[in-house]
Amino acid sequence: MKKILASLFVVLVPFMLDAQRQRFTTQVQELSDQDNDEPEETEQDEEERAQERKELVKPDRTLLARWKGPNDYLRCFIVDTVDVWKSLFTKSSMHVLSAIIPTYLATRQANYVIHKHFYRPVTHENVKQPPKFLSEIAIADAIVAIPFLALNMYGWWFGRDPLEFRRVQVFNAGLISTWVAKLILKELKHHDAYRPWSGEFSSDEQACNGWPSGHSAMIAYLATFWGLEKGYKWGVPFGIFTLYAMAINVVTNHHYLSQTFVGAGLGLLFGVSAHKVMGHIVKDENFSVGMGTSHYGKPALRLAYDF
């Protein structure tokens, strides 16, 4: 999973940034051509044209990563990542955590009861398994990566609103943060970290890297962030996909039930955190301060707030 995400991130970012830069150059060229086609403009028209150019190349904070190149994209990514981690230690995140802990403790009691229905210890094989193609949808890294790739394409290529581009940046920062947190937690060695016995794993010893479920964490993060950002029309389908991934991981003996809930809780926690970071960005973007001229032609200070 980590190799696929890293490869997609490294390959697609420069390509998409270059495509957006070409679109920007085309817009400026079209504006210049229009000026050449209309040589008999009045002085007022020329001032309006100059103002349009200024607005087009205005270094708006939401556009920095789009026009300034990979270095500025990386700067925004680092700032967003720090903000995501900082937002974990807020009151709203603690409310989420207070709901995750009792859920984990409750589902922990059902681990072995559920596992025995899908594993035969005498022959060391999985039983009552779903068709392979249904399992691959929630387990195969290449397939699970598809919605993440599609959402990045949405922001980089089809997102006309610059704020959508920033939204995908914050989403990626939270995604990598969730992945890092998952790796750290998987290194902890304790009783609940053992994976269930499975015909796909060794029959001699249990693997000790199952806490939490990484797939559940990543998909739950996706569902939480985009559900909070876009509403139920996005949140419900992704939420169903999260539950499906959790169920498949339990049925195929990749994880115990409690491990999938810990993973989903981790994704939920980072999804709320990233949404909060995006909320601060939108709030900042609504307020603007700038210099201009009054209708008397004198310098003036402009304050604006977009409700």
Beta bridge partners of 277: none
Would you say 171 and 157 are in contact if contact means Cβ atoms under 8 Å apart? no
State the burial class of residue 146 (Cβ atoms within 10 Å of its Cβ: 0-12, 13-18, 19+): exposed
Higher pLDDT, 14 or 111: 111
CA distance 243 to 229: 20
- What residue spans of 38-110 are helical by DSSP H? 43-56, 64-67, 70-87, 91-108
Q: Strand, coil or helix: what is 292?
A: strand
Q: What is the DSSP letter of 201?
A: S
Distance from the Cα of residue 156 to its chain's centroid: 13
* Mean pLDDT, range 143-156, rounded to an integer: 86
194 in any annotated domain: yes
Quick one: which H or E segment has residue 287?
Answer: strand 287-293
Task: Quickly state the pLDDT bin for 46 (edges 50, 70, 90).
Answer: low
Phi, psi of 125 (to 5 degrees): -145, 155
Is residue 282 included in any domain, yes or no?
Answer: yes
Confidence at 257, pLDDT banded by 50, 70, 90: very high
Higher pLDDT, 143 or 220: 220
| Gap between the Cα atoms of 125 and 149, Å rounded | 34
d(CA 300, CA 296): 10
Q: What pLDDT is stored for residue 74 in this prediction?
A: 83
Query: CB of 206 within 8 A of CB of 195?
Result: yes
Q: What is the pLDDT of residue 95?
A: 87
Mean pLDDT of 267-283: 91
Report yes or no: 126 and 253 within 8 Å, Cβ to Cβ: yes
Whether pTM > 0.75 for this model: the answer is no
How many residues are recorded in the chain?
A: 307
Mean of pLDDT over the chain: 79
In this model, does residue 49 exceed pLDDT 80? no
- What six digits make up the tokens of 306? 């977009």
Q: What percent of the chain has pLDDT over 90?
A: 48
The pLDDT value recorded for residue 19 is 52
Which range is most confident: 26-30, 44-48, 67-71, 207-211? Answer: 207-211
Q: What is the pLDDT of residue 249?
A: 95
Does residue 56 form part of some domain? no
Q: Residue 245 phi/psi, 5° resolution?
A: -65, -40
Cα–Cα dist 237/287, whole Å: 34
Give me the pLDDT at residue 87, please: 92
Give the number of domains in the chain: 1
Spatial distance between the Cα atoms of 12 and 2, rounded to a whole number of angstroms: 15
Domain limits at 249?
73-305
